[in-house]
Amino acid sequence: MGCSRSIPNSFGLFICLVCCLFWISSSVLAAFRPVDNFLIDCGGTKPLEIDVGRTFQPDSGNSNLGFSVSPASRIFVSENVTSPSNLYQTCRVFTETSNYTFRTNQVGRHWLRLHLYPIENSHYNLKAAVFSVVANGVTLLHEFSFAESGKPPSRLRKEFVIPVDASGFVLILSPSNGSVAFINGIEVISVPDGQFPPTAVSIPIGSSVDIPVHVALGTAYRINMGGPLLTPNNDSLWRTWEPDYPFLLNSASARNGSVDPSFIKYPAGVTVEIAPNVVYATAQEMADANVGDQRFNISWVFRVDGGFTYLIRLHFCDIVSQALNNLVFNVYINNQTALNSFDISSKTKGISAAYFVDFAAGVSMSSDQILVQIGPPNLRNIPPNAILNGLEIMKISNIEDSLDVPVVADFGSRGPKKKVVVLAIVFCLVGSAILALIAAAIYLYFHQPKKPKKRPVSAWLPLPTHVGHSESKISTVSYTSTAPSLGLGRVLAFSEVREATKNFDESLVIGLGGFGKVYRGILDNEVVVAVKRGNPRSRQGLMEFRTEIEMLSKLRHRHLVSLIGYCEELNEMILVYEFMAGGPLRKHLYGSDLPPLTWKQRLEICIGAAKGLHYLHTGAAESVIHRDVKTTNILLDENHTSKVADFGLSKLGPTLDQTHVSTAVKGSFGYLDPEYFRRQQLTEKSDVYSFGVVLMEVLCARPAINPALPREQVNIAEWAMYWQKKGQLEQIIDPHLVGYVNLDSLRKFGETAEKCLSEYGIQRPTMGDVLWNLEYALQLQEASVQTIADESSTNYIPEIPEWIPHIEGAECESADRASDDAATRSAVFSQLINPKGR
């Protein structure tokens, strides 16, 4: 066959690949013979051939095949068919915790594939079944249920990589109370040596990340770029490879290329087990945009679970070049450079030779995506192009040995005694709560005024510690005691909040975000407030609610937003703040029709925010790290006085004998301290870095991250520092400032931001130093205004040259460009508007 290249969905490519698949199924499958190869048809009654050369054995009466089930469930269901032809037409049902035990012969990693489908059955509603699955101590599924998805059930194939020692392999299925567990099929197959790396390149680029042999992996995505769906028949390790089109952000940016799979060469260190040659024989490359200078990226977005580290394997094979060293490009992962000016042929020393690179990227608890991009470098001596042949994303188990939830269920301790103890505790708590309510009711009955003209002001109470287990709701118990406060804020009755917002009138909504809606309200003492009402389905829940109350109740400063009170009755999570008429700083910079701020106003706003952060770091009884400093979390009142808001992610700073706080990475894309992201070590200097991004945003009046811009301009910190180091920062400032900014004031401002954005925290100034420098920049500006009457003086920045394009502000902080879309609609509390930027 000859080499061919075509547009997506090409019929010729399809025919070529289909013809090759038959050759692959009979050749590459012979390359690997696993030591352990357990193929189980759960609930089946006779051997079942599924794929070429693969026969699944029934799971009953087959202890001689090297596995057993204990206790052995006698319940199995099947579809109403005379001769089952696939794994999903039968399943085994368990009413109690049961183990599949495999007597393995090889120590090391093993593939585990679980096949799940809720067969219709008159005795068991398998769609509503809730159960957990653990393999060799690693939680794979925690309280899994098909009903949770809200979609019609489909065949589910979950793939994992599990470490196995000399004791063998044990798979545990545990139904939740009153439910059942079920499974249709199981595969346990030993993994070839060298299949997974001991280390991977960290993202952002830094020291290598270890991938210990004892960690488990879970396959999130396995993608065949530019090619068709590949089934287990087409892979020597019986893997499935999906097409990439559903994940492309802009399909017009890419076109597929292909060659005969027999052309693919495997250099030393790469085998057909890494990926079949059909994966390397197809690719996505840059489409022809019919412009003189092609400078754009191909982007793919993949939804993932936050709070985990992911192994990301990229597969490359130059099938589009006619000579060596003609294909050089950049690769980005989550807006961070992964490969810079990457030349595949310099690694493989040949054309059509397979190559792969492994990366490790952490995804914060509040994030839900991995963004992969390829694009041309800033080189003029080669044609602009970029290519990607395949991609695998695998979740790495966390420190709790879980691939599903942060807290691992203790399956080994289930039993009657434990249930009795739990029930006893629950009854005691409920009884205590009822007695407390009765006592409180009696007290109020005998002590309340006869005919009060107004409802008395709500008592001040501590946030209850015996809340429910939900992460989005507080316990339904209503607390109305008049006990003395512990200083956590005024407790407002739900009726009081409802009255203040006119029963949560939609016309009073001033913001909408991840936590819920924000309403403008008026309390009975005529105080105007902003009411943040939690959405029970929000991903931001109890922990942020508690943190916000606890932090703001301890902190009082002119440049921090004040918490007036909170309400936690009737499953509600409501926070009540002082009303900030000016709204978030961001909408005064771009994305709205508000008049532009003057340079003096911008300096004063930055100084106010710096004072608030300086107080957090040094003025409170315990230092506080904000952890989410950005322009939507700096609010303005009617006089443009700035106040720092949103303390839901805040953490207490390190003690005297500590240098940092070790914690999971949280924050917003574009503002995250790179050192904190790499090392998960939080310090006050992390806030300083984020504030440096804010300074650049204030100066340039554009978002911190804007994927719509050319690659070099996407990240404002990188773009601004490029011009700052050239001594030409004035080239990218907000055009509204041109002719009105003193050049010395701008230099001091730029130097301050540059120090804030230093790569390492030890090189950054304290917030006190930042504050001093900003005040000095303001003095330089005011002094020049007093002494220079002519605004076009040579000491002021001249007009921006016409060749510098003005970039319109776009409300986008992350790759999906949706994180802060509501910011322009809110007059208050931007912290509620950005559910995904954490």
Structure confidence at residue 250 (pLDDT): 84
DSSP 8-state assignment for residue 176 = P
Structure confidence at residue 589 (pLDDT): 94
Angle at 31 between CA 26 and CA 37, to 5 degrees: 95
Q: Which two tokens stand for residue 285?
A: 């490359």
CA distance 735 to 700: 8
Q: Is there a binding annotation on residue 473?
A: no
Structure confidence at residue 669 (pLDDT): 78
Contact residues for 591 (Cβ-Cβ < 8 A; gap 6+):
809, 810, 811, 823, 824
Bridge partners (DSSP) listed for residue 729: none
Look at residue 40 and give its three-state secondary structure.
strand
Tell me the backbone φ, ψ of residue 396, rounded to 5 degrees: -100, 135
Residue type at 363?
V
Under a CB-based contact definition with an 8 Å cutoff, are residues 756 and 688 in contact?
A: yes
- Beta strands 67-70 and 98-102: pairing type? antiparallel
Structure confidence at residue 802 (pLDDT): 38
Catalytic position from the list 628, 646, 734, 821? 628
Map out the domains of the chain as residue ranges.
4-29+195-396, 33-190, 439-578, 583-832
Angle at 147 between CA 146 and CA 150, to 5 degrees: 105
CA distance 564 to 338: 46
CA distance 205 to 579: 42
Same fold, 4-29+195-396 and 583-832: no
Structure confidence at residue 295 (pLDDT): 77
CA distance 411 to 404: 15
Q: For the chain, which residues score pLDDT lower than 70?
A: 1-31, 61-63, 81-84, 150, 289-293, 380, 405-433, 435-436, 439-489, 512-515, 535-543, 548, 551-553, 570, 621, 655-660, 662-664, 786-838
CA distance 512 to 831: 10
Report the topology of domain 33-190. Answer: Jelly Rolls (2.60.120)
Tell me the backbone φ, ψ of residue 380, rounded to 5 degrees: -100, -10
Q: In what order do the strands lie in the sheet with 181-183?
A: 75-78, 90-94, 181-183
Q: For tokens 């009142």, name the residue.
A: 637
> Which of the listed CATH numbers 3.30.200.20, 3.10.530.10, 3.40.50.2000, 3.40.50.2300 matches domain 439-578?
3.30.200.20
Angle at 516 between CA 513 and CA 518, to 5 degrees: 85
Under a CB-based contact definition with an 8 Å cutoff, are residues 174 and 181 in contact?
A: yes
CA distance 184 to 116: 5
Q: For tokens 């759960």, name the residue.
A: 42
Q: Which two tokens stand for residue 27?
A: 């050749």
Q: In what order do the strands lie in the sheet with 583-584?
A: 583-584, 634-636, 642-644
Is 288 considered catalytic here? no
Superfamily in which the 583-832 domain is placed by CATH: Transferase(Phosphotransferase) domain 1 (1.10.510.10)
CA distance 160 to 231: 17
- Strand (E) positions, 36-155? 37-41, 48-51, 54-58, 67-70, 75-78, 90-94, 98-102, 108-116, 131-135, 138-144
Q: Is residue 602 within a helix (H) or strand (E), and if so which, with residue range?
A: helix 599-614
Superfamily in which the 4-29+195-396 domain is placed by CATH: Galactose-binding lectin (2.60.120.430)
Residue type at 628?
D
Under a CB-based contact definition with an 8 Å cutoff, are residues 281 and 261 in contact?
A: yes
Q: How far is CA 822 from CA 102, 418, 532, in A?
A: 53, 47, 15
pTM metric for this prediction = 0.52
Give the DSSP letter string of 294-334. ----EEEEEE--SSEEEEEEEEE---S-SSTT--EEEEEET
Under a CB-based contact definition with an 8 Å cutoff, are residues 500 and 514 in contact?
A: no
CA distance 319 to 736: 49
Residue type at 368?
D
Q: Which two tokens stand for residue 674?
A: 């790179």
Percentage of the chain with pLDDT > 90? 44
The per-residue pLDDT for range 693-734, each reduced to its tens digit, is 999 999 999 999 888 888 888 899 999 999 999 999 999 999
Bridge partners (DSSP) listed for residue 837: none
CA distance 761 to 684: 9
Give the DSSP letter string of 108-139. EEEEEEEEE-----SS--GGG--EEEEETTEE
Cis peptide before 204 (omega within 30 of 0): yes
